[in-house]
Chain A
Amino acid sequence: MKVFNILILSVLILLTNAKAQLKIVTTYPYIASITQEIVKDKAKVDFLAVGNLDPHFVVPKPSLAVKLRNADLLIINGAQLEIGWLPPLLDQANNAKIRPSASGFLDLSQYVRLIEKPENVSRTMGDVHPEGNPHFHLDPYNIPILSDAITTKLCKLEPENCSYYQENNKLFKSKWNEKLKQWNSALEKLKGTKVIEYHKLYDYFINRYGLVLSGAIEPLPGIPPTGKHLENLIEIIKIQNVKLIMQDVYHPLKPAQFLNQKTGIKYIVIPHDVGAVPEAKDIFSLFDEIVRRLTND
């Protein structure tokens, strides 16, 4: 009986300890990094998808359901980027707190202006996102908007720590604005450069810095390139004088290498998330690295 009492007591202590710190799970590492800047040591932040794999195709392994099981807050990218893998995990996690529409759920896509929202959708368009392009975090001007949204949510959940979070957010944003100046002046010289990307991943970045998108290696979102499509791209590269292929880390490099051989076009592997390359350790170094790679002649 005594042993039993001790057991119950220790379980209770474990439970109360578990309650002490807010547990935040984000779908992608970049969201975890921004969140970490705001909560510092006041909450535990974890993420589900690794940064060096395709964000659309995350394997819903049971170990991810374990992370969701105890979470108090789930922050997702949204705009259907997680549609192929998060729903079965939420279903498995049996955690009512973080279901969409529950108080412990935040969809960041609701706070930014999405581009490329198609007026009509059909599966003949490939893996198209009906709500618009979901890769909005690669416009650095969107990051403070996201950090504001996260801070507001945190204040709702923990009013007692609100001023702390707001203070951290203010610091984060001022540091970010300093960085923006650096990045803006470094990227000035790329204005008007014609580029090709593998997937429509960098469109927000391209728009922000005045690059010109001339095509994509994928003929349709989610569909790998055919020989014919690459032939067309060679024509486009030659006629439009396209200067650069923005290659992501998770798609095969072969098509970019092929185009490079045929036309001499340069290709640069650009990280898209924290952890995509070893240098991208957090949200700051992610953009530092993007800018470094693009401007490193």
Chain B
Amino acid sequence: MKKYLITALLPIFTATASELDELKKQIQQQQEIIQQLQEKLKQLQEQQEVIQQTQEKLKNVDGRDPIEKVLSNPFSQAKFVPDISLILDTSFVSRNLTDDTYRQVQIPGFNHGLFHMHDGHGHMPYNAERGFNLNYAEMYVASTVDPYFDLVGVFHLSENDFEIEEAYFKTRSLPYNLAVKGGKFYSEFGRLNKFHHHVWDFADAPLIYRAVFGEHNLLEKGAQITWLAPTPFFLMLGAEALQGDNENNFNRTGFTVNTKRDGSGDDIKISDTKKPNLYVLFIKPSFDIGNTSILTGVSYAFGKTRINHLEDENPHAFAGDTKILGFEFTAKHLLDSYRYLQLQGEYIYRKTDGSKFAYNNAGKLVIVPLEKKQGGFYVQGIYKFDQRWRVGLRYDLINKNDVIAKGKNQNLPDNLYRYSAMIDFLPSEFSRIRLQYNYDKSLFLGSERKTNHEIILQFNLAIGAHGAHGF
């Protein structure tokens, strides 16, 4: 019986034994897991302690409850900061004309020298002195105002002067491909006029620009409307109504001139012009031929002229009107992503008509009809031959300089020319080092032509957020 029982229990027993082994194994595994978990827990506790200690410390240092030092900055507008950039232009100049001579020379028939000032206000030319020049530090601020407007401000800071160079709004959402711009801005007249100095291909403006518009191009207060016509090629048309500040051509403030130089005669009053005084129209078509983009255009500016030089050593004044016509041509041929050839030229023609007020040797006022028909062009070629290198050549010529007083041509020089060559190195998109040479035969001291050899080493650098430049 006993034997039976054993034999009957044996399989159960052995089964239990194997199950026991299994259980033991499982228990062992679980113990291992528990151990691991305990270690983890210990680690976590230690970490927690460290954190608590740190928090404790922080609390002690700060002396405040955590509830009071929640990092909240509910009124921060940091994300709305506009694009801000600073552009520096500084140069080293070597010139054969002494600074004294350079201050006195003139482009005959056009203006009273490159440094001419009115009421102590005027623009120093870029690269004015031999040696080191700080041409400007320009502050650029731009942003979208709201869904309807963009706003741009450009503050031209020279060593002792602050000038709002540009400050304008431009619409974002007008229908029919229209846009309106208002404020103070560079006119869309011609090709180079609207570009800031830091994107020019040479360190100075073309001769015809300097002669006709002066050192800061056609920069005016006013309003502009542009329309992109629905043509299969690019066709931009536009019109501007401007106040007419450009003192070379349109100055709008009238003057009073006495019939006697010593002021003992009668006053003749020349009234202010209508304001706005200057209107500009332009049409600019552009199209591509293969890898070449061509941009052309015709611009026309017209307005009344008031020039008051009555306070000068040799007092004189002018009242009349001025018309300026400009033709532009730009062709850019892409060789690859980093190399291109660019050919650019402009012809500008100016016609001024009116009366000149001046005194004769006896000190008596003489009013003579004065007519000016002047024109000239520049043509320049730029070759970007490497990702970081560009070379360029420019030829300037003023070939029409008819100044007709009282029906008699004054026979002013009409072969004013200049050759320029430049090479620039672009370490990055944000810096430019340029070496330029000018052979300038446009400057006169009295009736004597003063040849000007000029070498300019220019550094132009930009920091901050600055919008990309157009074509």
Where the two chains meet, the residues of A that have a C-beta atom closer than 8 Å to any C-beta of B are 53-54, 57, 59-63, 65-66, 69-70, 83-89, 91-96, 99, 101-102, 123, 126-127, 222-224, 250-251
Contact = CB atoms under 8 A, between A and B. Distances in A.
Nearest to A18: B230
A223 B293 contact: no
Interface in B304-344: 332, 334, 336-338, 340
B438 interface: no
B177 A94 contact: yes
Contacts of B226: 94
Contacts of B236: 62, 92
A91 B284 CA distance: 16
A127 B334 CA distance: 22
B174 A94 contact: yes
Nearest to A101: B147
8 contacts: A53-B334, A87-B467, A92-B236, A96-B173, A101-B147, A127-B428, A222-B428, A224-B388
Given A96-B175, A224-B387, A61 B288 contact: yes
Interface in B199-238: 226-228, 230-234, 236
Interface in B412-471: 428-430, 463, 467-471
Nearest to A57: B337
Given A87-B467, A94-B177, A94-B178, A66 B232 contact: yes
A78 to B, nearest CB: 15
B389 to A, nearest CB: 11
A224 B425 CA distance: 13
Interface string B163-201: 000000010111101110000000000000000000000
Q: Closest 3 interchain pairs by CB? A: A88-B470, A54-B337, A62-B286
Contact of B295 (A62, A94, A99, A223): A62
B13 interface: no
B385 interface: no
Contacts of A61: 286, 288, 293, 332, 471
A123 B231 CA distance: 41
B428 A223 contact: yes
B463 A123 contact: yes
A113 B230 CA distance: 39
Contact of A127 (B178, B232, B338, B429): B429
Given A60-B468, A69-B230, A250 B337 contact: yes
B7 to A, nearest CB: 62
B471 A94 contact: no
A96 B171 CA distance: 9
Most buried by A among B234, B287, B288: B234
A251 B470 CA distance: 23
Most buried by B among A54, A61, A94: A94
Contacts of A62: 234, 236, 284, 286, 293, 295, 471
Contacts of A123: 428, 430, 463
B293 A99 contact: no
A83 B177 contact: no
A99 B173 contact: yes
B91 to A, nearest CB: 23
Given A223-B428, A250-B336, A95 B234 contact: no
Nearest to A82: B468
B467 A88 contact: yes
B387 A66 contact: no
Contacts of A83: 468
Contacts of B177: 69, 93-95
Contacts of B429: 84, 127, 222
A102 to B, nearest CB: 8
A96 B174 contact: yes
Given A91-B470, A96-B175, A126 B336 contact: no
Given A59-B332, A59-B334, A126-B428, A65 B469 contact: no
Given A61-B471, A69-B177, A88-B468, A96 B286 contact: no
B63 to A, nearest CB: 31
B466 to A, nearest CB: 11
Contacts of B468: 60, 83-88
Contacts of B228: 65-66, 69, 92-94
Contacts of A84: 429, 468
Contacts of B287: 63
Most buried by B among A54, A86, A91, A222: A91
Nearest to A250: B337
Contacts of A101: 147
B293 A59 contact: yes
Most buried by A among B332, B336, B340, B470: B470
A86 B236 CA distance: 18
B469 A94 contact: no
Contacts of B337: 53-54, 57, 250-251
Contacts of B288: 61, 63
B293 A63 contact: yes
A84 B337 CA distance: 13
Contact of A94 (B150, B227, B286): B227
A250 B469 CA distance: 22
Contacts of B470: 60, 88-89, 91-92
Contacts of A92: 228, 236, 470
Contacts of B428: 123, 126-127, 222-223
Contacts of A53: 334, 336-337
Contact of A63 (B178, B286, B387, B388): B286
Nearest to A66: B234
Most buried by B among A57, A83, A85, A96: A96
A70 B230 contact: yes
Given A62-B236, A94-B177, 14 more contacts: A59-B332, A59-B334, A59-B471, A63-B233, A86-B468, A87-B468, A88-B469, A88-B471, A93-B228, A95-B177, A101-B147, A123-B430, A123-B463, A126-B428
B173 to A, nearest CB: 4
B338 A57 contact: yes
Interface string B290-311: 0001010000000000000000
A95 B388 CA distance: 34
